[in-house]
Amino acid sequence: MSDADDQAFDIELKLLVDAIFLRYHYDFRGYAQASLKRRLTVARDRFGCRSLSQLQDKVLHDPATFPALLDYLTVQVSEMFRDPAYFLALREKIVPLLRTYPSLKFWVAGCSTGEEVYSLAILLREEGLLSRSLIYATDINSHALAKAEAGVFEIDRIPGFTENHRRSGARSSLSDYYTAAYGRAVFDKSLRKHIVFSDHSLATDSVFAEVQLVSCRNVLIYFNRELQDRAVGLFHEALCRKGFLGIGSKESLRFSRHAGSFVDRVREDRIYQKADQP
Ligand SMILES: C[S@@+](CC[C@H](N)C(=O)[O-])C[C@H]1O[C@@H](n2cnc3c(N)ncnc32)[C@H](O)[C@@H]1O
């Protein structure tokens, strides 16, 4: 691409993102530019458009385009017990503190297709806490949320999930929580009874509950600094006194406007605790 083409692409990207916000109220204006560019380039080609302006025309005038485009704008990569060390740290270092609460609320923000939230539910069941827990699982992608709610995963992913689960300090076998049928693993409905799935955007929505722990992993990485600050501000507001925040292994609060409002709890696994205000 020449510099002029590059500049035109950037202008068209800005206009497309503005159009999406004005028409559908999904706000991608604060997303990290480099990955948004990559994803929109793929979408432009996939929708058979010559330019992002042409894609914008489709988005505005063809009602089927935006829901399909949303799958390109958001990244749905996930796995159960992703980064097992994070779940091991939750189990060993955070669960003992959570035990002191008579009832517990959790918020898995950006839950995608549900792998993280089922992992948390299984961990809580293993630790004897699920019966007094409620987990809010939120995302902006309704396709992903529907999949999460169904709790059905392709069977060929199960060996990887099982190994992650084992490395997270499992106290039971993952096979205790699903039934295999027709190439799919259907997770136990009794886990779902403790989960509320809901559409919620970290870019535009506000806090809806007080929780003891927020787990928002591999989501902030797609946001620019300002939007990261907004999201971390929401988490801070949602957390009870001395509540916990877990983020992804490639994410950090170090440069956040809210860095001073949290203390490291398990530094290597990116688990923070809300600081007492002076
Ligand atoms: C890579 S997945 C992370 C899934 C899971 N947390 C994990 O670590 O495996 C990122 C998720 O963030 C969601 N997401 C993107 N923007 C969001 C926003 N503004 N508010 C809430 N979720 C968002 C995407 O739809 C996607 O499901």
Is 40 contained in some domain? yes
Over residues 179-220, the pLDDT tens digits come to 999 999 999 999 999 999 999 999 999 999 999 999 999 999
Domain match, 107 and 34 both: no
At 277, is the pLDDT very low, low, confident or very high (cuts 50, 70, 90)? Answer: confident
* CATH number for 221: 3.40.50.150
Q: Is the same domain home to 136 and 250?
A: yes
250 and 129 inside one domain: yes
Separation of 221 CA from ligand 1 center, angstroms? 10
Residue whose CB lies within 8 A of the most ligand 1 atoms, among 70, 74, 83, 111, for a mutation test: 74
In a shared domain, residues 54 and 118: no
Query: At residue 99, does pLDDT exceed 80?
Result: yes
Ligand 1 atom nearest to CA at 248:
8
Residue 241: per-residue pLDDT: 97
C-alpha 181 to ligand 1 mean position (Å) = 28
Residues 111 and 60 in one domain: no
Pocket test for ligand 1, best of 80, 90, 140 (most atoms within 8 A of CB): 140
Is residue 270 lining ligand 1, measured as CB closer than 6 Å?
no
Mean model confidence pLDDT for the chain? 97
Question: In this structure, is residue 233 part of a structural domain?
Answer: yes
* Residue 190 and residue 233 in one domain: yes
Asked, for residue 78, whether it belongs to a domain, the answer is no
One domain, residues 92 and 68: no
- pLDDT of 1 above 80: no
Please tell me if the CB atom of residue 140 comes closer than 6 angstroms to any atom of ligand 1.
yes
Among the candidates 73, 97, 121, a domain finishes at: 73
Domain check: are 116 and 145 in the same one? yes
Report the separation in Å between the CA atom of 271 and the middle of ligand 1, taken as the mean of its atom positions. Answer: 18
Query: How many folded domains does the chain comprise?
Result: 2
User: Residue 3 has what pLDDT?
Assistant: 84
Q: Do residues 89 and 127 make contact, with C-beta atoms less than 8 angstroms apart? A: no
278 confidence band (pLDDT: 50, 70, 90): low
pLDDT digits (tens, 9 = 90+) for 131-155: 999 999 999 999 999 999 999 999 9
Check whether residue 34 and residue 149 sit in a common domain.
no
Residue indicated by tokens 């692409």: 9
Question: Within a domain: residue 91?
Answer: yes
String of b and e for 187-210 (b: at least 16 CB within 10 Å)? bbeebbebbebeebbbbeeeeeee
- The answer to whether position 79 is within a domain reads no
Instruction: Identify the weakest region by mean pLDDT among 2-6, 115-119, 221-225.
Output: 2-6
In a domain, 119, yes or no: yes
Residue located nearest, by CA, to atom 24 of ligand 1: 74
d(CA 100, ligand 1 centre) in Å: 30
- On whether both 60 and 99 belong to a single domain, the answer is no
Residue 219 has what pLDDT?
98
Task: Kindly give the number of the ligand 1 atom that is closest to the alpha carbon of 204.
Answer: 19
Name the E strands within 161-259: 178-181, 184-187, 195-199, 211-216, 239-247
Beta pairing partners, 272: 245, 264
Q: Indicate if ligand 1 lies below 6 Å from the C-beta of 203.
A: yes
Q: Of the residues 17, 48, 73, which one is the last residue of a structural domain?
A: 73
Q: pTM of the entire structure?
A: 0.97
Q: pLDDT (tens digit, 9 = 90+) per residue, 226-266?
A: 999 999 999 999 999 999 999 999 999 999 999 999 999 99
Ligand 1 atom closest to Cα of residue 141: 25
What whole-number percentage of the chain has pLDDT above 70? 100
Task: Specify whether 166 is located in the same domain as 140.
Answer: yes
Q: Does 214 contact ligand 1 (Cβ within 6 A)?
A: no
Q: What is the pLDDT of residue 4?
A: 81
Residue 94 lies in a domain: yes
Ligand 1 near 77 CB (within 6 A): yes
Count of H-run helices and E-run strands, the chain: 11, 10
Residue 266 structural domain:
84-274
Is 249 inside any structural domain? yes
41 CB within 6 A, ligand 1: no
